[in-house]
Structures are given as C-alpha cells and as structure tokens.
C-alpha cells in the first residue's frame, strides 16, 4: 500500500502541546506578527527566543501519544510511506517515526540556525552540554557555578562562523518552505498515486497541504482520503471518510484496520 499522512498541531494536542487556532490555541492569545516572522525577530530577538524556549521546554516535558505511535506503526507496515508534518515538535520522531519517512515541512524547533549563514546546530537535551563549544553567546553571564550551559537557554545565541544572531530552525510566516524537504514531498508524490491519504489534526490553512492531500487536484484523488479532526476543515468536502474524533482515539483503530486488511 502507498500511504501519505499529513499532520498538524491537533495530533500533539493530546500530549499537552497547544494548537495554534483551536481552543486555547497560541494564536488565540498571542500575536504571530510579534513572535513568528523574520521582522518580529529583527525587532525583538529576546522576546522571540523566550517564547521558543518556553515551547521547547513544554515539548521536552511532553510524551508522544497513541496517534504518534499509530502513525509510526503504519510507517513500518506500509510499502511506500511518507509523513509530512507541520509540527516542529519531536513527538513523531520520539514515537519511532524513521527520519527518512518523515518531512518536517515547517522545520524543527530543536534546531538553532544562523539568521545569516548556513551554520546550524541541533539542541537536544544531551546536546546542551556539547553546544557550549560551538557558538559564542551575546550578553553571556556566567551562572552560579560558572558553567556556561545556562546561557544557551537564556541569552541570544550568536553564530560561531559569522557572529550574526542564531534563530530557531522553524519556518516563519512569510518565509519559503525548505527546498530539500519540498523536493522530498514532490518526489514521493511523483512516485505514484496513494491508496490512502490520512490528514489528521490540521486546519489545512495552507494551500500546499490541500494540494498534497489531493495529490495535486481532486481529479487526481484515486484512493481514500481520511480526515481525522473533531472539526470541519477546507479539506472535509474532498474526504472519502470523515472521522470527527480526537486523533489519539481514532488513529490506532484506523491503523489497525489498515494493517489487518
């Protein structure tokens, strides 16, 4: 079976990670133009870094849920499989999703990259100790025990190569999608029609999510398009199956059915 899965923030909601536009979503209370644009970062990099660090910590304290685990299981069973997630958290990966079967199209919150050159680092817990030697820190102040690692979590990191400010490795509003990741999605779609497309936990706000779900256009849709979302979205009218349930409830059942079939 050839399977494409598209996920959004709703899949991580049951792990305690807020969505963006749902109830108590980030954009219900916060202004994205002050936190998630290149202009916002230029205007107030400390404010932006504080918000992304708070989100990193919340994700570190979270666990993958049954939806993440079910999708990882499907990835292992399907002949051809690709997960395209808009989520910048690492819950799909921690649930066992192989990196080669996943595209994080909006980036990875644990990546820190230079806002000017191509220097980048990945900030996993274990790496906090390693990162110390990699980047210089603007406004660094030694912590009580003189150990710099705290600065990584508080200051505004600067690039070791060009001294420009480092920024979270995510795609902000108004920015291009990462070319390599885009190519991987296109290559998979060019590889032939999918028997099953699952779209879970997204408002499908961006046109490319709708295009990929329809594999180009409604006429191209050969197989099943399953939407898992308690609410209606712009994709609902194209779906061959609507599952108005939370992802962690619905996806284990759907995946078991597919694996058994």
Single residue of 56, 106, 113, 167 touching ligand APR by CB under 6 A? 106
| 205 counts as binding ligand APR under rule CB under 6 A | yes
User: Are 88 and 178 in contact, with CB atoms under 8 Å apart?
Assistant: no
Single residue of 3, 5, 14, 82 touching ligand APR by CB under 6 A? 14
Give the β-pairing of 166-170 and 107-114.
antiparallel
- Set 68, 77, 106, 154: catalytic member: 106
CB of 143 to ligand APR, least distance (A): 33
Dihedral through CA 124, CA 129, CA 133, CA 134, nearest 10? 10
**Tokens 């150990």 correspond to what residue?**
147
| 104 counts as binding ligand APR under rule CB under 6 A | no
Residues in contact with ligand APR, shown as a per-residue x/- string from 20 to 59 under the rule CB under 6 A: xxx--x----------------------------------
| 15 counts as binding ligand APR under rule CB under 6 A | no
User: Are 90 and 96 in contact, with CB atoms under 8 Å apart?
Assistant: no
Token couple for 130: 């390693």
Contacts with ligand APR: how many residues (CB under 6 A)?
Answer: 24
Report the alpha-carbon distance of residue 136 to residue 118 in Å, rounded.
16
| 168 counts as binding ligand APR under rule CB under 6 A | no
| 201 counts as binding ligand APR under rule CB under 6 A | yes
**Which residue, 104 or 158, is less far from ligand APR as judged by CB?**
104
Single residue of 109, 156, 247, 258 touching ligand APR by CB under 6 A? 247
| 129 catalytic residue (yes or no) | no
Helices (H), the chain: 10-13, 26-29, 32-35, 38-43, 45-60, 66-77, 91-94, 125-131, 149-154, 179-190, 207-213, 247-260
**Which residue, 87 or 158, is less far from ligand APR as judged by CB?**
87
| 13 counts as binding ligand APR under rule CB under 6 A | yes
| 202 counts as binding ligand APR under rule CB under 6 A | yes
Single residue of 112, 210, 229, 235 touching ligand APR by CB under 6 A? 229
Report the alpha-carbon distance of residue 116 to residue 162 in Å, rounded.
8
Other C-beta atoms lying within 10 Å of the C-beta of residue 49: 21
**Among 135, 112, 113, 115, which residue's Cα sits nearest to residue 124?**
112
CB of 235 to ligand APR, least distance (A): 10
CB of 192 to ligand APR, least distance (A): 26
DSSP 194-236: -SEEEEES----SHHHHHHHTTTSGGG--SEEEEE-SS--TTG
Residues that bind ligand APR (CB under 6 A): 8-10, 13-14, 19-22, 25, 86, 106, 200-203, 205, 228-231, 233, 246-247
């Amino acid at each position: 079976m050839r399977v494409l899965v598209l996920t959004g923030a709703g899949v991580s909601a049951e792990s305690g990670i807020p969505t963006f536009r749902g109830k108590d979503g980030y954009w219900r209370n916060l202004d994205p133009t002050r936190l998630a644009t290149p202009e916002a970062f230029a205007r107030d990099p400390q404010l932006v870094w504080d918000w992304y660090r708070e989100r990193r910590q919340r994700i570190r304290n979270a666990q993958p849920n049954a939806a993440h685990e079910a999708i990882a299981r499907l990835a292992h069973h399907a002949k051809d499989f690709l997960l395209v997630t808009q989520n910048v958290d690492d819950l799909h990966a921690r649930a066992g999703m192989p990196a080669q079967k996943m595209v994080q199209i909006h980036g990875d919150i644990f990546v820190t990259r230079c806002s000017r050159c191509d220097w980048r680092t990945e900030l996993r817990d274990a790496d906090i100790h390693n990162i110390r030697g990699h980047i210089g820190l603007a406004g660094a102040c030694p912590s009580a025990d003189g150990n710099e690692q705290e600065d990584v979590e508080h200051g505004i990191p600067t690039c070791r190569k060009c001294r420009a400010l480092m920024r979270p490795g995510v795609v902000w509003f108004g920015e291009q999608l990462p070319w390599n990741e885009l190519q991987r999605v296109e290559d998979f779609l060019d590889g032939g029609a999918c028997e099953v497309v699952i779209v879970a936990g997204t408002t499908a706000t961006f046109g490319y999510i709708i295009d990929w779900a329809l594999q180009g256009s409604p006429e191209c849709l050969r197989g099943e398009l399953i939407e898992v979302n308690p609410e209606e979205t712009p994709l609902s009218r194209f779906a061959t199956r609507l599952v108005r349930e939370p992802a962690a409830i619905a996806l284990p059942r759907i995946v078991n059915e597919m694996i058994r079939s």
